A and B are shown apart, each in its own frame.
Chain A
Amino acid sequence: MDERTFRQISTRRKFFREAAGGIGTIALAQLLQAESGSVANPLAPRKPHFPGKAKNIIFLFQEGGPSQLDLFDPKPELAKWDGKPLPDSLTKNLQLAFIKPTAAVLASRRQFRKYGQSGIEISDYMPHLGTVADDITVVRSMHTEAFNHHPGQLMLFAGTLQVGRPSLGSWVVYGLGSESQNLPGFVVLSSGAGTSGGESNFGSGFLPSTYSGTMFRGSGDPILYLSNPPGVNQAVQRASLDALRDLNQEHQEKTGDREIASRINSYELAFRMQMSAPELLDFSKESPETLEMYGVNKEPTKPYATNCLLARRLVERGVRCVMLMHASWDDHTNIDKKLKKNCDITDQPVAALIKDLKQRGLLDETLVVWGGEFGRTPMCEIRNPSEADNAGRDHHPVAFSMFMAGGGIKPGQTVGKTDDLCFNIEEDPIHIHDLQATLLHCLGLEHTRLTYNYMGRDFRLTDLGGNVVKKLLKG
């Protein structure tokens, strides 16, 4: 090894040592193999713990807690209880955010249909999803530990009720790096309203900030400060960066500090991001059929469709992790109307994304997850009794639904079963930690080995829990 290579490694070494886990050592070894000519890049692709089916993950986060009772988990039995309180035996230890356990039951007003060969049941609010029923797997037996939004979102994305831990996307990029050398490894797309969890849903916590999700903005620059200031066109920017690089190099020779080479690299990546972002965002080469399938050019699908199509384009370009945020499904009131609105916005684009990934052969290597931080109660919440038609549902962490597709997930199944009231889980309970362990497994990461040492302890996404759910996996 020559002097120069050694210097490169030694400056990055501290980082890898701090990343004391298996990844650290693997990364160091790979660095020597693959990167002996260039400066170490913490986002360089890294080998998984074992070959995973999925390369990328798209998390379609439905913030607020979509109602499983009205979307994926039909409960005809509930009609009998409609307007009556549930038996004490069910509710005596129940803790709810707003309503009291004695609240009356609200039977779903939705019609369900069995779709595809698999016969997955989906509500009449999501007809488009029905067309890809055989490609998805619905889980009806999710459960979590938090009954409020921010803690619930922390649990879902950081595996704990505490703030300050890395998010799912950050762990994935920390574990696998990213294939894209022109775009951030973890991209977050929001279609409007903010979420309760804010930054903590995609922050890197105590991991280096390199692993934070980069928010693509809905208006203005897609990435903050991506466009040049007034009077700086591409030629000016390039000339400036050339001079900057030369002066930085000059100073590196003087100080011998390899960190300067990393700095030069960061500027070059920034420039490549500036160059590639317009191409990424340019839908002109997409066929009219594709645009129509997503609903890019019509309301109310436009914003979410744009993000779904962008998600496909991002994974196509090697971005490891894409998170779409849609808020809010927190339907305490007027659930029939509000739920319809959210479904009208998201149903078509989500189905199109799955179809599109499949027709391009990307679905096998892309893990798609749809879900929120918890579900909703079978009981009714009426905030203003004078408007009884405005009934909604409270938060329900005990049993709720999600669905998944692609990347190592066995399609066409309904996993898990809730009781007749959709109150408790009867079969195959899947804790958030189990979900996380399973998602990491699909990506070739063993959740107990993806660790980071911080404040004297090895931390992991699944905290102290998590079992891979074999039932969800493709053989």
Chain B
Amino acid sequence: MRLSILLLCLVIPASGAGVDFTREVLPIFQQKCVVCHGSKQHLSGLRLDDRDSAKRVLSAGHSQQSRLIEMVKGSTGKVMPPAGAKLTDAQIELLSRWIDEGAHWPASASAARHWAWEPIQHPAAPAVKRTDWAANEIDRFVLARLEKEGIAPSADADKATLLRRASLDITGLPPTPGETAEFLADTRPDAYARQVDHLLASNHYGEKWSRSWLDLAHYADSDGFEKDLIRPWSWRYRDWVINAFNRDMPYDRFVTLQIAGDELPGVTPEDRVATGFYRNTMTNREAGVDRTEARFDQLIDRVGTTGTVFLGITLRCSQCHNHKYDPIQQKDFYKMLAYFNAADETDIEVPVPGEMGSFLRARPDYEKKRAELIAQYKVPELQKVWEADMIRTMDHPGLELDWDFQVTEIRAGVDHGERILRTPAEKRSERDARTLTARFLRGPGPRFGKDKELTAKIKEAKEKLDELDKTFPALSMAYVMEDRSDYGPAHIAVRGDWKNPGEAVESGVPSFLPGGEQPAKTRLDLARWILSPENPLTARVAVNRIWQELFGRGIVSTSDDFGTQGDKPSHPELLDWLATEYRRVGFSNKALIREIVLSRTYRQASTARPDLDKKDPENVLLARQSRVRLPAELIRDEALSVSGLLNTDVGGPSIKPFQPVGVAELGYSVKKWVESPGREKYRRGVYIHYQRTTPYPFLVNFDAPDSTLSCTRRRLSNTALQSLDLLNDPAFFEAAQGLANRIESEASGDFRSKIWFAFSISLNRTPTEKEIARLASYYDTQATLRKNDPEAIAPWVGVSRILLNLDEFITRE
């Protein structure tokens, strides 16, 4: 009994009585049934995407006698669907109700195209009954829906909460007590809008909003897989993203540069850094790896990432076969793959400001000394012999075991190792030539290995060169993509198996989407197609993510999947309005964020509404804001910020905060974790070095993604390990001590005024009497404990530690 009441609540009732076939029933068929009973396969001759075919299993008005219900319930022994998740009781109940109501199936619904493939509409904001609520058009869409359901929106959040919310959402940092006080005192009608503009202009805005983009790009500072080598220049891409957000680079340019920056005429080296988007793909350098397979895996990831990030479609599902649910052909997948097959990884010099001068000054001397060293140790002559050995082994594997190992190693360990080796010395680029020389000196192979004296000489040459390199102010590098024709045409991999190439395919975009029939050869063409106004997905997917970042839930809650298996938009017209608006404001993120943040919808209180527990427990209709736990990085940023430890420098190489011994050691080839010096370790979480096989534990504990695949929305878990981390992690204890210092040094007066100060720093509000009394009692207990045990922490450290552990502290309300 209880169960059925509850399950009934799982479905938000459609407006008015009666089950809505298109909105409620058809999606169940699409999700659960049509893979076997649809247009592609119609097992038992049944199609549940076709009204006439479906009649067979429906007895209109009598759910009890309907074969459909019998089968989904499994009441005759056999249950549908036979694999995967069964229908929930709520879904079965819904289907039964629909049949009892007459199994009404509108003729138009059979052939209904999936909403997301339809062109973006340009809806006008609807009329609303209540005229004093809406602050802008966004609100009218939300209010109209609420009015339809007979629900009133919530009151605005109080000013302090609102400022804290907007600050955490826009810059990811809490407001200072001063900022809060100023805002509370500002009675001008546009006080809030001014604050929002102020926040959007901050350089911390880019740090906050880059993070979710880095999740999409699955950014990391290491290769992943067994060896998990560090990528010392990954941060160049991260900085590019931060800067792009801070400069409010329009989304169309932002996307174009990342997909095909290298193909744009007249791009600067900085622009090329954007293609580092595709360099976040993992690299398997296990010595025994097959290079063709490893590269194939990378291409698969690039295709999947492109589909997820820009189009919100699950392209990856068609690696092995046509998509089971969406109209994506396997061929579409490999047409997309062809774009990336014609490109390759390369590392280029992209100086950071201030580097060029010293580089140019030091270079002539460096080159001279280097040439002398190379000549002195007869490196070119020796290397030539080694190269001949290597090439011979490549051409005749299996004859000399010791050389075979060398070849395997260079293929896996040196990017494009074989290609460089096989390029005649005079045709190698300077960078390639030096890479090869460095590789030769590192392991000159079995021939010289037998000659102890020569081996020592080569080692000496290596050491001297290393020493020389150390003194030379080399230019900073960046990982980018470039066009490359030597991989030949792409092929469909039969059943997704790289060892089984099928038909050759040319690059092209998915044929089921508008413009799909036009030729689009280059990555730049691909970018242009993605950004064309006719593309129904790009803008919707992008604005949905912005919405998700500001409400904790997208209008389409499955922000990774706009296909038929994804959820439908809760407010389809609003989604389209936002997509249209995004284009209208020139794809400006700041403009769109501003508009959303200024809406009444956004400004509502997040307090639970018991009256809506049954009607809208997940807050889909937005009759209030939502409380959302902060992402990992922001929890740390906030703790550092309120304790006065935060280092607010923007940009630069990744940093390493304190990490206990034993974490990095779990990796296969241990990378020693050397804590960043001085105040570097107090920089924001977005800068923490991400080692894929042994990530910084705090990030893992608080649900940062593992950066193996594109992640569009983080999970929010609530675990005991999180509690232990916040309570006992030395970094957080240090923050508690910092906060206690501030309370004792910056707040004057009695306990009460100190508690007021502590609350205003950490929670941006005043404490209640009950809270003061409870903390006073704790303070006294702690003071007594300390009297008996002088080692025990000071009471204010204890109070601070409690404040930093409060649910409210780690939540955006």
Contacts and interface: CB of A to CB of B under 8 A. Distances in A.
A334 interface: no
Given A1-B5, A226-B724, A256-B607, A22 B86 contact: yes
Range class of the B interface residue count: 35 or more
Contacts of A448: 83-84
B724 A273 contact: yes
Contact of B558 (A223, A228, A274, A456): A456
Contacts of B5: 1
Given A250-B774, A257-B608, A381-B401, A262 B806 contact: no
Interface string A1-40: 1010011011001100100111011001100100000000
Given A209-B715, A255-B608, A263 B807 contact: yes
A208 B617 contact: no
B661 A32 contact: no
A240 B85 contact: no
Contacts of B125: none
A164 B799 CA distance: 40
B724 A224 contact: yes
B286 A149 contact: yes
Contact of B727 (A96, A194, A195, A225): A225
Interface string B652-677: 00000000111101111010000000
B801 interface: yes
A221 to B, nearest CB: 8
A225 B805 CA distance: 14
A9 B284 contact: no
A164 B797 CA distance: 40
Contact of A224 (B663, B715, B798): B663
Nearest to A25: B88
Contacts of B719: 209-210, 266
Contacts of B83: 448, 458
Nearest to B813: A255
Contacts of B347: none
Contact of B561 (A22, A382, A456): A456
B286 A194 contact: no
A260 B606 CA distance: 14
Interface stretch (B52-60, B588-596, B701-709): B701-709
A259 interface: yes
Contacts of A254: 607
Contact of A458 (B84, B724, B725, B791): B84
B89 interface: yes
A385 interface: yes
Interface residues of A, number: 110
Interface stretch (A66-74, A196-204, A315-323): A196-204
Given A95-B290, A149-B226, A229 B693 contact: no
Nearest to B400: A385
B282 interface: yes
Nearest to B810: A263
Contacts of A384: 402, 446
Nearest to B228: A198
Interface in A83-138: 95-103
Contacts of A223: 721, 724
Contacts of B316: 455
B326 to A, nearest CB: 8
A458 B290 CA distance: 30
Contacts of B715: 208-209
Interface of B is mostly: loop
B609 to A, nearest CB: 8
A6 to B, nearest CB: 6
A228 to B, nearest CB: 6
Interface in B223-245: 224-226, 228
Contacts of A219: 661-662
B806 A451 contact: no
Interface string B673-698: 00000000000000000001111010
Contacts of B617: 10, 13
Contacts of B614: 6
A233 B789 contact: yes
Given A100-B398, A164-B709, A263-B807, A220 B728 contact: no
A382 B723 CA distance: 51
B717 A208 contact: yes
Nearest to A163: B708
B774 A247 contact: yes
Interface in B143-164: none
Interface stretch (B93-101, B200-208, B378-386, B778-786): B778-786
Contacts of A205: 706
A294 B792 CA distance: 40
Nearest to B770: A250
A424 interface: no
A272 to B, nearest CB: 8
A231 B563 CA distance: 55
B286 A456 contact: no
A198 B84 contact: no
Contacts of B167: none
A190 interface: yes
Contacts of A163: 224, 282, 706, 708-709
B3 interface: yes
B798 A240 contact: yes
Given A100-B397, A228-B728, A267-B723, A259 B718 contact: yes
A243 interface: yes
Contacts of B86: 22, 25
A457 B610 contact: no
A98 B730 CA distance: 45
Interface string B788-813: 01011100011001100111100001
B92 to A, nearest CB: 11
A232 B813 CA distance: 30
Interface string B253-287: 00000000000000000000000000000101011
Nearest to B661: A220
Interface in A444-471: 448, 451, 453, 455-458
A215 B781 contact: no
Interface string A209-244: 110101101111101111111111101110110111
Nearest to B799: A243
A26 to B, nearest CB: 10
B107 interface: no
A17 to B, nearest CB: 7
Interface string B280-299: 00101011111000000000
A236 B288 contact: no
Interface in B45-80: none
Interface string A149-160: 111000000000
12 contacts: A1-B2, A6-B6, A97-B408, A148-B226, A150-B284, A163-B224, A184-B720, A199-B706, A205-B706, A231-B792, A259-B629, A456-B325
Interface of B: 2-3, 5-6, 9-10, 83-86, 88-89, 224-226, 228, 282, 284, 286-290, 308, 314, 316-317, 324-325, 397-398, 401-402, 404-405, 408, 446, 450, 558, 560-561, 563-566, 606-610, 613-614, 617-618, 627, 629, 660-663, 665-668, 670, 692-695, 697, 700-701, 703, 706, 708-709, 715, 717-725, 727-730, 733, 768, 770-771, 774-775, 777-778, 781-782, 785, 789, 791-793, 797-798, 801-802, 805-808, 813
Given A25-B89, A196-B286, A199-B666, 15 more contacts: A7-B613, A97-B287, A99-B401, A190-B666, A209-B703, A219-B661, A225-B724, A229-B733, A233-B792, A251-B806, A259-B718, A270-B723, A384-B402, A384-B446, A455-B561
Interface of A: 1, 3, 6-7, 9-10, 13-14, 17, 20-22, 24-25, 28-29, 32, 95-103, 147-151, 163-164, 184, 190, 194-200, 203, 205, 208-210, 212, 214-215, 217-221, 223-233, 235-237, 239-240, 242-244, 246-248, 250-252, 254-257, 259-260, 262-264, 266-267, 269-270, 273-274, 381-386, 394-395, 448, 451, 453, 455-458
Question: Shortest 7 CB-CB distances between A and B: which pairs?
Answer: A97-B288, A256-B608, A456-B565, A100-B398, A198-B693, A270-B723, A231-B793
